[in-house]
Amino acid sequence: MPDKEDKQMSEKHDHGEHKAAPMVEEVSDFEILEMAVRELAIEKGLFSAEDHRRWTEYVHSLGPLPAARLVAKAWLDPEYKKLAVADGVKASLAVGVDWIKSPPTGFGTPSDYCNLRVLEDTPKLKHVVVCTLCSCYPRPILGQSPEWYRTPNYRRRLVRWPRQVLAEFGLQLSPDIEIRVADSNQKTRYMVLPVRPAGTEGWSEDKLAEIVTRDCLIGVAVPKPGVTSNAKRPIHPAVHPVHHHH
Amino acid sequence: MSSKNSRPELMRHFDLVGQLQPAYHRAEHAPYPDTIDHAQYRALLRSAHDVGGEPDVPITWEEKEEEVWELNTFATCECLAWRGVWCAEERRRRHNVDFGQTQYLALPYYGRWLLGAARILVDKQYVTLTELINKIDEVKKRHDNKASSR
Amino acid sequence: MTTKPHHDRTHHAKKATGIGDPQCFKGEAGPAKFKIGDAVRIKNLPDIFYTRCQTYTRGARGVVVAVVYESPAAEDEAWDNTDKSEWFYSVKFPQKELWPDYPDAYPNDTVETEFSERWLEKA
């Protein structure tokens, strides 16, 4: 049985040289096809092995921290909050995300476009995000989408039974509050700017960002002092997992 | 049909598409056209990804570890768009609607991404299907050889 | 020797590098038909092969809350037909408008989603 280090080494080499096979015992039909497609695309000059490696590295660089910092900055600076709501792409620059130029393309990521809208919650308005048609998600500022977000189940139900779905996520809101489901069905990508909770007076930007979890940025949770990670859920293991650390 | 009067029909549409599920069954295949009414026609032509508002049951919300092949597939699909083989909207159409109702729901999420990437290479004649078949065979044999040599 | 179709793989990069998408379509749609605050109804155009106008919105009445960008409609862009652009609008609907059985207990709940201009008519 190959040890973890060997497997990670072979994964690194897979991205650069398309000949290497993973040193594992069983290979699935999907893994076979994945190699076949990538090798053919490279052989035919459609993209290079270097392109593929660069994209994989770019994906590894993504996560929810920039979005959390955008929220923390907005909480601390009313002018920045106005900018974030008016122009999410411009506001993203302040947290190191250039929607147009950060990705290797120089014209944005193909799937995520360049139109971030920051949805500002108020005490009377709670946003929650879904893409009913597929699973569009603001990857450049939030990283990869969680599995549950991609399920037909979430996509079917959130837009019609938001209170029930949010209750399943542990969030129950007063009936008079407007719950607004934002369905990102075109080129806009959404993130939620939650209400700053009580008990955070005098906090630094870093400390505030810590309580803005990915779940808060999608809208299925609200920030709470002392809560710095997403709610615990079952994790379906991968057979040959990537080692992300989000 | 005016836009204003279509709401009740849409509610019936939802009931009907809820009955379109992957299934093994003996039904009449290739029915006579005069047996298909407007509601059934609409249901059959619907875009399979258009699921908002369909009934479903509460489930346990789960996270999932990403497979290496899934990340590779994602990068392949984005590189194909980066280098102009397809644009993102073509990709979505192929991944989320062109598969048709059964494969759309029965395939894994990234399974559709992967098959869609394979398909675009053939559809735009960058490879022949023969080349794809042979490459899959070659990759398979490479792994059979590795397994048997242990 | 066979003749294969030639696909121009450089056209989007040429148009959008350094500019972004949908920014690269700015100015191509002409004047916007609707503005913020307009009441609109979603048209029930024929549904064939592909659409990004959700069935659950068809025939529903909402309010334009933002005029967001210009872009080819998804139905055209899905075949890489990018010669024509439309204005896109963000429209907000009361939940009760979309679902007759939405509980009266939650009178203020809404859905917001985007439409290209072809899908909207004055309500």
Domain B68-148 classification at class level: mainly alpha
Helices (H) and strands (E) in chain C, counts: 3, 5
Are the beta carbons of A36 and B139 closer than 8 angstroms? yes
Tens digits of per-residue pLDDT, A213-237? 999 999 999 999 999 999 999 999 9
Higher pLDDT, B75 or B12: B75
Q: Is the CA virtual torsion B127, B81, A48, B140 positive or negative?
A: negative
A11 touches chain B (CB under 8 A): yes
Domains annotated on chain A, with CATH: 27-60 (no CATH), 65-218 (3.90.330.10)
- In this structure, chain B runs to a length of 150
pLDDT in tens, chain A (246 residues): 444 444 444 444 444 445 455 555 689 999 999 999 999 999 999 999 999 999 999 999 999 999 999 999 999 999 999 999 999 999 999 999 999 999 999 999 999 999 999 999 999 999 999 999 999 999 999 999 999 999 999 999 999 999 999 999 999 999 999 999 999 999 999 999 999 999 999 999 999 999 999 999 999 999 999 999 999 999 999 999 998 554
Residue A182: CB atoms within 10 A of its CB come to 26
Break chain B into its structural domains and give their ranges: 4-45, 68-148
Residue C13 has, within 13 A of its CA and on its CB side, a CA count of: 15
Q: Which of A106, A117, A175 sits opposite C17 (nearest CB)?
A: A106
Q: In 3-state terms, what secondary structure has residue C92?
A: strand
Write down the mean pLDDT value for chain B.
Answer: 91
| Inter-chain contacts counted by CB atoms under 8 A, chains B and C | 80
Are the beta carbons of C113 and C90 closer than 8 angstroms? yes
Assign a CATH topology to domain C19-122.
SH3 type barrels. (2.30.30)
* Shortest CA gap C74–chain A (Å): 7
Q: Do B47 and C10 touch (CB under 8 A)?
A: no
What confidence category does residue B22 fall into, taking pLDDT thresholds of 50, 70 and 90?
confident
Tens digits of per-residue pLDDT, C26-47? 999 999 999 999 999 999 999 9
Q: What letter represents residue A114's amino acid?
A: C
Are the beta carbons of A75 and A120 closer than 8 angstroms? no
pLDDT of residue A15: 45
DSSP state at residue A241: B
Whether A114 is catalytic is no
Whether A10 is catalytic is no
Q: What is the pTM assigned to this prediction? A: 0.90
Q: End-to-end CA distance of chain B, in Å? A: 67
DSSP secondary structure string for all residues of B35-72: G--HHHHHHHHS-TT--TT---------EEPPBHHHHH
